[in-house]
Copies of this chain bind each other. A is one copy, B any other.
């Protein structure tokens, strides 16, 4: 008796990524309109906010503003408290914050028809997204990203996560939000490093998917480095759009092994770790892009001129293109361990994205360490030249 029943169904996920300025001004009805549209008869929906302390410090009036907003518009009821959590990786390193948030969802009676909204950088969004995904098997999650990186990449996608025993994002789920609200006013208070580092993901996605966007980046590198907000808004929107397209046209919940969006990331992840996260993710990605671009050039997949354009763009945006820890001298140089770790991360089979043109990626299953060494030496030389 070997009998079976077959189960098969599809689940549809839909959400919008909104772009606005001054989300909590009572003259701005975007959020209220969103709630009105999703009101459920006979139910008082609630909303609980979790807020990145770094954002709260840079925007001292924000808590009052949120309170005033929900005093003014009453479709959704604001939970008694706005929950503050530390910004940055710390909030993903300690399970305390996740448990605390789930506790708060319980205390304030946030149910599956109510909202958990997170305001902050990618770290706070990643942590809060996991809490929202598991409390009650999922409450409605709204993301309000406040950094360049989270507005153009991490905050618009479908993943959340926290770290576990030093393993980055070891725990998490695939859980699309019900909406994302990108408010450019948050960007004005970013440090220069945070402003800049989020742009490397835009360079990355342009390189593997959109030559025209790359040209645009070259043309606007100066304005971007000078913190021109309208220019940054365009970068964020186009980058977010490319990410959204990638998710929906590919394998949204990543059941396969390919990770084209991880272009430049095998060495970046390793560099972050080797420098004890002194080098930020976006900064490391810029160097990883530089390395894999020069490597692509050495393999003859892209021209010397293309390599030069990529390196120049990174420099013009204000990025360093290499770091002492990015140097490869021998087969067991620390950086090269990043290849093994990346293989392990993918589940046993190495898949690395390289370039065949500006705007076009390709997948390979191995890297020649001699060429990696050569690429790292060339970058070191270029870097000295630049200085």
Contact = CB atoms under 8 A, between A and B. Distances in A.
Interface residues of A, number: 76
A4 B21 contact: no
Contacts of A45: 348
B30 A2 contact: yes
Given A16-B4, A159-B137, A253-B138, A43 B240 contact: no
| Copies of this chain, tallied across the complex | 2
A338 interface: no
A25 to B, nearest CB: 12
B136 A170 contact: yes
Contacts of A15: 7
A191 interface: no
A14 B348 CA distance: 24
Interface string A157-195: 001010011010111111110000000000000000000
Interface string A1-40: 1111111111111111111110000000010000000001
A321 B30 CA distance: 54
B11 A170 contact: no
Interface stretch (A78-86, A107-115, A265-273, A291-299): A107-115
Contacts of A171: 102, 134-135, 137
Q: Taking each of A95, A233, A349, which has the highest tally of chain B beta carbons within 10 Å of its own beta carbon?
A: A349
Contact of A172 (B42, B109, B137): B137
Contacts of A237: 3, 5
Contacts of A2: 18-20, 30
A12 B251 CA distance: 10
Interface stretch (A211-219, A241-249, A280-288, A308-316): A241-249
Interface of A: 1-21, 30, 40-45, 95, 99, 102-103, 106, 109, 111-114, 130, 133-138, 156, 159, 161, 164-165, 167, 169-176, 233, 237, 240-241, 244, 247-248, 252-255, 257, 344-345, 347-349
